[in-house]
Structure 1
Amino acid sequence: MPNTRGSPNPNIPPEEGLKKKKPPACDSCKARRVLCHPTTDGTPCPRCIEKGTKCTTTPVTRGRPPKKHLGVVPATPPSASESEPLSSTGSPYDSIGLLPPQESTRLLELSPELVHHLFECFAHLPQYSHPMFRGNILRKALSSVSWKIHQLTPQQRVLAHCVVALSASISYDHAILGIGPQPASFADRSVFMQGADLRSYGVRRAPMYRALCAQALRLACEAGILLEPSEDNAASCFFMQFLEIEKEATSRPWAVAYFSHVRAIAASWNDTNVDPLHAVMWNSFLMLEALETIGSRHPVLISHNDQLLISGNEPLPLQNLFETVQTTMRTAKLQPHTVFRIMPSVFFHITRLCRQLSEAIIGDFARRQPLNETAVTEFLSELTLLHSIRCLVFPPDEPNTASADPLFQGSPQTRSTHLHLRASAGTMVFSRTTMLLALHRELAHRAARAPTTMGQVAWAAERVELLRRQVRELAFFAVEEIAHTLLVPSLPHLTHAYRGALVACAQFCLDEAEPERVGVIEAFAGALKLVGYSWTPPAGLVERLEAYVDTHRVAPLQLFEISTWRDMFPAPLASDLMELFAMPLGQPEPEGL
């Protein structure tokens, strides 16, 4: 219908009224209750030009006004019509336990109930035990502001957001998972059980997890945590590096800043008051960082001097450690506490071997040089010693049993002791396998690019291929050991400590597939389905594993259930038992364990 009132603005042709709806009146004209003649090209209206005022237009939302949001996570999941994917242009935050953004920056404001839930989830993750993370202090700070995360100091706010983002990867709350079924708790055995396919949970949590990671990244950059050494900033940098793993970047700025902060803080420590328990925990986290770097072919950032500065005195050489353990096992009855006492030295040597592997064999500079066969031979010899120590304290299991190791049989020992042993065994198996797979990838790379010409060059290529085949067999044996540990999985460790190793093992099994090892491939397919609770596995990997299993499987995989280890989310490690890791060999056994 034509506009009968006409248009005094010469910039708008008469026929425009037939094509487009008239834009809303500007704020100035509405305030003075006069007729506005808005333009469509962004220029001020004629009345604002005449008055010399700024012409702005505030959009008016029509329809029923929204109910006031109190920031409380809904007791029941929102309806499907209210659930929309997160986007940069806006999301139905009310339906997922988030307060709507009040600024154009669109920060997600988490409700206190959701923050408290995510903080409690964090205690189940390995990262909770990091020496730089002062969980009790952060808990008190959050409690003092009624769990309103935005009221924390800038550095604590960044740390809390890192914790929240990490916890979102295991949370079972519908505010994180969105629409669909959810576990009642971490002890819900109807969900967390062997053989379950939990990948749908990872898909559902992915939008919220990415949004929380992005928010943590933004706040970390705004607070400048890369520049100021402090315990909170070091912990935040450590967590940020983990949150950024999926990006597969060529540089690792958060890891570099993390070690820079740690070095600066460690330099002020009193040598005479070194906490043995903290030294143990430092050794374990330095080891996990080193394993992560060689898995992605990044340089190992921790030097030998850094290890000594952070974790204390140098342990026995690996050969001497093996002989000491061997003597101890001969003269004393097999005791689980023997494992605890050697683990700090094992952690130290694993970190050292990762650095040796990176600098002498698989690193960028080493790759430009002819293969150092002496370095490869020495490295394999030390891995053999490491495996021998593992076999002494964790004897090989009998066939067709879930765990015939005397350390893992039902006994009066506490459940916490079993969980510590389980973590120790997993560490030794996963670390050796990660290093062997990294070495195998390097040898395969060199063998593939080696020339086939006659003479000494061809002879060197044959030597590389021979080493590759030898390492391949060792890697297969190590991968089989991991497959056995997957019969009693600890889901937080699989998802947040060994996820990269699991994917590498699965890809190795497919690349070097052998029909007689179909059970191993099936075990990794099942493990990746469990890991899918937190992260979506690489596209098509599980399907390829299952396709190979379906083609070559003779009998279904036997799943064993051990009542002691039925919980895939074991309780946080007891501090009294953690002290056993700081006890030297030869000290009398504690009573009552």
Structure 2
Amino acid sequence: MPADVLLKPRKLPACDRCKSKRVLCHSQPPGIPCPRCVENEAECITSPVVRRKPVRKPKESSAGLEQDWSPSPDSAPSSSSQPTPSTSADVLPSVLAPSPYTSSSPTQTTMTSISGPLVVHLLECFTRVPQHRHPLLSLPALRQTLAQSNWRLDLLPPSTRALAFAVLATAALVSPHPSILGEGPVPTSLEELGAWPALTDWASFGRRRQGACRALTEEAFRAAREADITVNWSTESAVTCYLLDFLDSRYGPPNRFGRPFGISYASQSRALAAEWQGIRDQARWFGWLTEESLSSTYFGSQIIFSAEDHRLLYGAETVSPEEFASSLRNTSTFHDPNVAFSATLPYSIIVNDAARTLEETITGAHARRQPFNEVAALNFQAALSRLEHLATLIIQRIQFLQPTSTTTLFPEGDHEHAPPKRDVPVQYALRSISYLARTGYSVLTLAFHRELERRARELPAPTDEFAARSRERMDLLRRQVREVVIRAGHEVGKSMQQLPSLPHVTHFRGYRLHLWAQVLLDSAEGGSLSPETVSALESILQILKLTLYTYIDPAVPPAIAQIETALLPLHRIDLPPLPLDPFADYAYFDPLLTTTYNPTQDLNEWFTAAMVAFEGPPGGMEASSAM
């Protein structure tokens, strides 16, 4: 046999995304995306690999990287080595670069120094993002340590230095400082941005801050490696791991097969809580754990905090949805904001339990490999209906307490010597509760809907009566859940009208607005959109454009173009959103969904009853009148 027959064909090179995530790439011929990119709805790009003679890299001096930075004109990428995706001109090559903690290539931006005044400015900006309220973070202590070191980061202990860089990199995403944005128009303050015209090119800010944010982020990961924060456990290391996990997610969807800093954050939080006397910061912990559960559900990754961790961090309280709903319906307490505040804990517990159930039975890695579990799907559908009802009751209370709500893009931060403003925190808290209520059930609804659609696409054509009946039940379930997800999309639009702050979208991974835009656009019947859908798309469009102020998400520019194309014939792009009725009964509840499926019940009997409940009796109006 000739020798060339024994040679295996050379494997095609891996795509950029699989290489950055360090996972096996099932490479396809040119022009065909790999399966992993198709599954994650990502642009599949394969950069040409140029073999060069290895060059010894001189060791960098960390002391020279610490006080201000400027983009290096000599480090601009060449067109041959940095392909630009064809989806949008706004997508920068550096956005699709490898994650900072896995990248071995030199940064495209050179950090020369970080001045003391700039460090002070970034610390003030950090108070405008939700991360500054994390229960493990003591921002005054970090500020005091920096002041004692004369604002020089090279004089800090290794773990504190890693935390400082992580904080500065997170704050740089919203900073209006000229050293961050570079050349171009610069607002005098974050408050000024709220008065800028609606046609402002917000994407220009995201492009201009790209180099500075990338440099700060890479320095944060470098400092974390030097301090071994995943090995040397402490409160400081735990919160640094949390911030680095967030920063890594800004470079694309988190790798569902590994979140090293996220897992270390959960492990260290668990170990710290085990040594506490009682529970600390319960009110803040359940909010952060809920955000983590919802973010993991959105991206299809594993929920890194277990049920035992939740009990350890915010208590072992059990909640009955029926009793909770009964307390929310009590109209005599509508004027008491404390009832709305106290509702966040039981609602978060129910959301976290539902997210874990969804992962274990329907959307998790193990559940996705198993045959479709109809019983689990029906039970989750019923739980989702109850969760929607609870969210509606909470939102009605907030609307009663706060009938008109004005969104501030960047609310005033917690200054060390600022006078107390008791009304501002209350209004901010009410908007945050309303945001949590809508986010809680809408995220789970979208994840459930997407998994059902994926299952339906993979189902083979039925070959017998049993398979045909199973397919009919699946189609019915999909139609019912599609109705729920459209209502949830309308609620997402309303939540965009009453945001606590813009960083609640840009600095939390819980909302992927471009997916909601696609759901609402797909809901058009006969090419026409309902008024509720148009209003929701208008609100989502406005916030999507504003998010480009912080960074350029590759999925956002195409979503903006799709929404504008759909709204342009209606001449509704610049119209204000529809007003909200505080007591509007805008949630439709199917009685069928409020009853948990009984495993002893015959699925075909359930299917027949469901068809009548969902579509009416056979024969339409005549059959109904005959009955």
TM-score, with structure 2 as normaliser: 0.68
Cα deviation 1:443-473 (Å, max 9, x = unaligned): 0000111111232223222222221221111
- 1:203-222 alignment to 2 at 5 Å? 203-222=207-226
Q: 1:472/1:391 Cα in 2 relative to 1: closer, same or farther (>3 Å)?
A: same
The alpha carbon displacement at 1:242 in A equals 0.4
Q: 1:85/1:365 Cα in 2 relative to 1: closer, same or farther (>3 Å)?
A: farther
Match for residue 395 of structure 1? 396
Matched, 1:257 2:264: yes
Matched, 1:431 2:435: no
Q: Secondary structure at the match of 1:187?
A: helix
Q: 1:166/1:485 Cα in 2 relative to 1: closer, same or farther (>3 Å)?
A: same
Matched, 1:407 2:421: no
Matched, 1:282 2:249: no
- 1:408-487 alignment to 2 at 5 Å? 408-409=403-404, 414-455=423-464, 456-487=466-497
- 1:9-408 alignment to 2 at 5 Å? 84=73, 108-189=112-193, 191=195, 196-245=200-249, 246-248=251-253, 249-250=255-256, 251-271=258-278, 274-275=279-280, 278-326=281-329, 329-395=330-396, 405-408=400-403
- Do 2:535 and 2:578's aligned partners in 1 also have CA atoms closer than 8 Å? no
Match for residue 544 of structure 1? 562
2: CA distance, partners of 1:137 / 1:503: 38
Give the letter aligned to residue 260 of structure 1.
Answer: S
The alpha carbon displacement at 1:344 in A equals 1.5
- Do 2:66 and 2:153's aligned partners in 1 also have CA atoms closer than 8 Å? no
2: CA distance, partners of 1:134 / 1:163: 11
Rg larger in structure: 1
2: CA distance, partners of 1:152 / 1:371: 54
Q: 1:195/1:555 Cα in 2 relative to 1: closer, same or farther (>3 Å)?
A: closer
Matched, 1:492 2:503: yes
1: CA distance, partners of 2:136 / 2:354: 24
- Do 1:502 and 1:528's aligned partners in 2 also have CA atoms closer than 8 Å? yes
2: CA distance, partners of 1:501 / 1:176: 26
Q: 1:404/1:196 Cα in 2 relative to 1: closer, same or farther (>3 Å)?
A: farther
1: CA distance, partners of 2:248 / 2:576: 37
2: CA distance, partners of 1:87 / 1:130: 37
**Which residue, out of 540, 546, 555, partners 1:524?**
540
The alpha carbon displacement at 1:359 in A equals 0.9
The alpha carbon displacement at 1:415 in A equals 3.2
Give the letter aligned to residue 298 of structure 1.
Answer: S
The alpha carbon displacement at 1:430 in A equals 1.6
Cα deviation 1:176-195 (Å, max 9, x = unaligned): 11110011111105655666
- Do 1:115 and 1:147's aligned partners in 2 also have CA atoms closer than 8 Å? yes
Give the letter aligned to residue 415 of structure 1.
Answer: V
**How many residue pairs are counted as aligned between the two chains?**
464
Give the letter aligned to residue 440 of structure 1.
Answer: H
Match for residue 64 of structure 1? none
The alpha carbon displacement at 1:423 in A equals 0.7
The alpha carbon displacement at 1:503 in A equals 2.8
Give the letter aligned to residue 292 of structure 1.
Answer: S
Q: 1:506/1:188 Cα in 2 relative to 1: closer, same or farther (>3 Å)?
A: same
Q: Secondary structure at the match of 1:540?
A: helix
The alpha carbon displacement at 1:108 in A equals 4.8
- Do 2:291 and 2:508's aligned partners in 1 also have CA atoms closer than 8 Å? yes
Q: Secondary structure at the match of 1:408?
A: coil
TM-score, with structure 1 as normaliser: 0.72
- Do 2:538 and 2:577's aligned partners in 1 also have CA atoms closer than 8 Å? no
2: CA distance, partners of 1:184 / 1:300: 41
Q: 1:545/1:123 Cα in 2 relative to 1: closer, same or farther (>3 Å)?
A: same
RMSD: 3.1
Q: 1:394/1:214 Cα in 2 relative to 1: closer, same or farther (>3 Å)?
A: same
1: CA distance, partners of 2:574 / 2:195: 21
Match for residue 558 of structure 1? 576
- Do 2:241 and 2:265's aligned partners in 1 also have CA atoms closer than 8 Å? yes
The alpha carbon displacement at 1:138 in A equals 0.6
- Do 1:121 and 1:171's aligned partners in 2 also have CA atoms closer than 8 Å? yes
Q: 1:535/1:507 Cα in 2 relative to 1: closer, same or farther (>3 Å)?
A: farther
Give the letter aligned to residue 367 of structure 2.
Answer: A
2: CA distance, partners of 1:200 / 1:319: 49
The alpha carbon displacement at 1:283 in A equals 0.5
Task: Specify every segment of 5 or more residues in structure 1 that has no aligned partner in the other structure, as ranges.
Answer: 1-68, 90-103, 397-402, 563-593
The alpha carbon displacement at 1:416 in A equals 2.4
- Do 1:518 and 1:552's aligned partners in 2 also have CA atoms closer than 8 Å? no
